[in-house]
Chain A
Amino acid sequence: MDYDLNTNPFDLHFSGKLPKREPSDSGSEDVMRKWFVKDETCMLQEELTRVNSENKKLTETLARVSEKYSELQNLFKELQSRENVNFCNERKRKQDRDEFVSSPIGISCGGTVEKSTVSTAYFHAEKSDTSLTVKDGYQWRKYGQKITRDNPSPRAYFRCSFSPSCLVKKKVQRSAEDPSFVVATYEGTHNHPGPNASVSRTVKLDLVQGGLEPVEEKKGRGTIQDVLVQQMASSLTKDPKFTAALAAAISGRFIEQSRT
């Protein structure tokens, strides 16, 4: 920005520059007066020209400064909105991280990135049981718990006991639709066999037999078959209609068993 603010709109000494009215005792007083007025008019004209030119300069400078100010203001707004977007993204990322995973799943120590797998499983649990521990064949270490708005039951967070070599995590929460079940959501795939697999009791869909009954997890089951079943169960459990139908079928089976 280079402009000169040392302009002087008011020449305070201007009146002193005007010719002084001196008393005249000669007969040519009239001529003198005319001369004086003419001279004053000339000086006034000159001063007006100077002030007008200054006015023009000021107007131009003001326009230039206003333009620069406007540009700077736009830049400032742009930077501010960019900063806001960055802040929101960062907050969302942090929220997502805190939501489920405390350290990113799928990023191994070697730095390679794999797509994480997410699966869901339902476990029957007594309403009085508030421990949120489910027997799924693996050992877990609890690392957090919180309550969310959508479901008043607490949500517990676990990581595999083999962590950090195994990065699988799970969250467990009582089902909002049917409180007689707890829902476990797993992220990642174990890179080791489950030590308690023989005693696990997981509700899984046996598609081969076409039934909707709880089946015992068997030690030594083929890995591919396990993965396939997990994937099918995962995709099916995403369908709310299916979940409702499954819960109803299981409840019906329990009622039948209690009658017989």
Chain B
Amino acid sequence: QDESASELREELNRVNSENKKLNEMLATVHENYCALRHQLE
């Protein structure tokens, strides 16, 4: 049981770290998108 919880924590950390990266990427793309749209307007 302990082992299983430890594995889950590890997996949770990994997915959380991935989510953080995804959020950063999304923010960058969104920022670029807005800048380009502003330029076109």
Given A5-B26, A37-B5, the answer on whether A48 and B36 have CB atoms closer than 8 Å is: no
Residues of A within 8 A of B39 (CB): 76
The reply to whether B40 and A58 form a contact with Cβ atoms under 8 Å apart is: no
Task: Give Cα distance in the complex from A129 to B39, angstroms.
Answer: 58
The residue that A69 contacts in the complex, of B8, B20, B22, B36, with Cβ under 8 A, is B36
A residues within 8 A CB of B33? 1, 65, 68-69, 72
- When the two chains form their complex, are residues A54 and B12 in contact, meaning their CB atoms are under 8 A apart? no
Assess whether A54 is in contact with B19, with CB atoms less than 8 Å apart: yes
Q: A41-B8, A72-B36, A76-B40 are in contact. Are A10 and B16 (CB under 8 A)?
A: yes
| B23 near A48: Cβ-Cβ < 8 Å | no
Known contacts A9-B19, A10-B16, A72-B37; is-contact A37 B29 (Cβ 8 Å): no
Contact B22 A38 (CB under 8 A): no
Chain A, interface SS category: helix
| Interface presence of A73 (CB below 8 A) | yes
Residues on the A chain within 8 Å of B40, using CB: 72, 75-76, 79
Number of interface residues of B (CB under 8 A): 26
A163 on interface, CB distance cutoff 8 Å: no
- What distance in Å separates the Cβ of A54 from its nearest Cβ neighbour in chain B? 6
- Interface size on A, as a range, is 20 to 34
Question: Which B residues from 3 to 23 make CB contacts under 8 A with A?
Answer: 4-5, 8-9, 11-12, 15-16, 18-20, 22-23
Q: Least Cβ distance of A148 to chain B in Å? A: 40
Shortest Cβ gap from B17 to chain A (Å): 9
Which residues in B have some Cβ–Cβ distance to A below 8 Å? 1-2, 4-5, 8-9, 11-12, 15-16, 18-20, 22-23, 25-27, 29-30, 32-33, 36-37, 39-40
Q: A55-B18, A72-B40 are in contact. List 14 more A-B contacts (CB 8 A).
A: A9-B20, A9-B23, A37-B1, A40-B5, A41-B8, A44-B5, A44-B12, A48-B11, A51-B16, A51-B19, A59-B22, A66-B29, A69-B33, A75-B40
